[in-house]
């Protein structure tokens, strides 16, 4: 699921209650279709707009699902358990429309930080990869450095 500044809790609930992605296993339990396991990937988890008290409602709902194993269905007034689902997410540093995400949500994730690479490092990496692809012909390998330099 892609989060944006306009993402609301209703958008997240619509995905969770989509019959093509999740099915009812019991009256109060939903899970992936076909008895499979699911990886629920959230792109740009820090994009939802902040509300009056600086919370991000979609992230709070996601946190509730991870913390408590489900969410409250406001139409049926039942707690809906979400089973066989693992949550993963990605984000960029705050700024430019991106907001800070609360530690209460981030404590559920293992954080991996990918720093920006220098031009020299990218040149070495991409030249090595391209040389490997061009190695099927002896004469083509020598063009890899010039191709990479013109692309960077």
Positive or negative, the Cα torsion across 91, 93, 96, 99?
A: positive
Q: What is the pLDDT of residues 83-104, one digit of tens each?
A: 999 999 999 888 888 999 999 9
Rg, Å, the chain Cα set: 22
In angstroms, the CA 29 to CA 23 distance is 9
Sheet hosting strand 70-73, strand order edge to edge? 22-26, 29-32, 78-82, 70-73
The alpha carbon dihedral of 74, 80, 84, 88 has a sign of positive
d(CA 28, CA 123): 54
Q: Per residue of the chain (152 residues), what is the pLDDT tens digit?
A: 999 999 999 999 999 888 888 898 999 999 998 879 999 999 999 999 999 998 999 999 999 999 999 999 888 899 999 999 999 999 988 888 899 999 999 999 998 888 888 999 999 999 999 999 998 887 888 889 999 888 76
Please tell me the predicted confidence (pLDDT) of residue 83: 94
CB neighbourhood size of 142 (10 A)? 10
In angstroms, the CA 124 to CA 63 distance is 41
Query: Can you name the residues that pair with 138 across neighbouring β-strands?
Result: none
Secondary structure class of 10 (helix, strand, coil): helix
In whole angstroms, what separates CA 122 from the centre of its chain?
25
Both tokens of residue 106?
Answer: 């981030």
| DSSP result, 83-111 | -SEEEEEE---SBTTB-PPPHHHHTTS--
How confident is the model at residue 61, as a pLDDT? Answer: 95
Helix (H, G, I), strand (E, B) or coil at 14: helix
Residue 43, SS3 per DSSP: strand
Query: What is this structure's pTM?
Result: 0.75
């Amino acid at each position: 699921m892609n989060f944006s500044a306009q993402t609301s809790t209703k958008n997240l609930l619509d995905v969770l209650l989509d019959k093509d992605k999740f099915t009812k296993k019991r009256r109060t339990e939903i899970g992936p279709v076909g008895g499979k396991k699911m990886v629920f990937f959230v792109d740009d988890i820090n994009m939802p707009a902040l509300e009056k008290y600086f919370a991000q409602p979609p992230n709070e709902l996601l946190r509730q699902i991870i913390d408590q194993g489900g969410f409250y269905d406001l139409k049926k007034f039942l707690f809906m358990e979400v089973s066989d689902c693992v949550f993963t997410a990605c984000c960029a540093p705050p700024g430019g429309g991106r907001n800070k995400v609360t530690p209460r949500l981030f404590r559920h994730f293992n954080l991996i930080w990918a720093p920006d690479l220098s031009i020299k490092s990218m040149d070495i990496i991409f030249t090595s990869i391209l040389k490997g692809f061009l190695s099927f012909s002896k004469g083509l390998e020598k063009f890899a450095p010039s191709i990479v330099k013109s692309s960077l």
